[in-house]
Amino acid sequence: MNAELDKVLVKRTSAEWIEILNKAGVPSGPIYNIKQVFEDPQIQHLGMAQPVRHPERGEIRVQGLPAALSRTPGAIRRAAPRHGEHTDEILRELGYTPPEIAALKKDGAV
């Protein structure tokens, strides 16, 4: 079935198909790649692309919070951590000592 659809869909641009489908009452829109998502005017207007500093890549844009609450607004403060970036910090907060953390690492537990 995909092969048959491809034969028909290739005859028009995505924009043309979206217009045709929307006029026929079929909700539709483009499928964006990541770059296009962040360039979309509506995404920019809603502030859904938030800049953050990444320790290796410099400033990058990430998806903002999906809801904006007036009395308790959230914020994206930093990039997602790298694998294991906060392990020592979390273990210390849980009461582990530096020698215990070293032992966990030596044993491959963390």
Please enumerate in sequence order all residues whose Cβ is within 8 A of that of 35, keeping only pairs 6 or more positions apart, or say none.
none
**Domain count of the chain?**
3
Domain that holds residue 88: 81-110
Q: Among the residues of 1-110, which ranges form H helices? A: 2-9, 14-23, 34-39, 41-45, 87-93, 98-106
pLDDT band at 17 (very low <50, low <70, confident <90, very high): very high
Exposed, middle or buried: residue 81 (CB in 10 Å: 0-12, 13-18, 19+)? exposed
pLDDT band at 47 (very low <50, low <70, confident <90, very high): confident
User: In this structure, are 53 and 42 located in the same domain?
Assistant: yes
Mapping DSSP to helix (H, G, I), strand (E, B) and coil, where does residue 99 land?
helix
pLDDT at 88: 96
Beta strands in 1-110 (DSSP E): 49-54, 58-63
User: In this structure, are 17 and 37 located in the same domain?
Assistant: no
pLDDT at 65: 86
> Is pLDDT of 74 > 90?
no
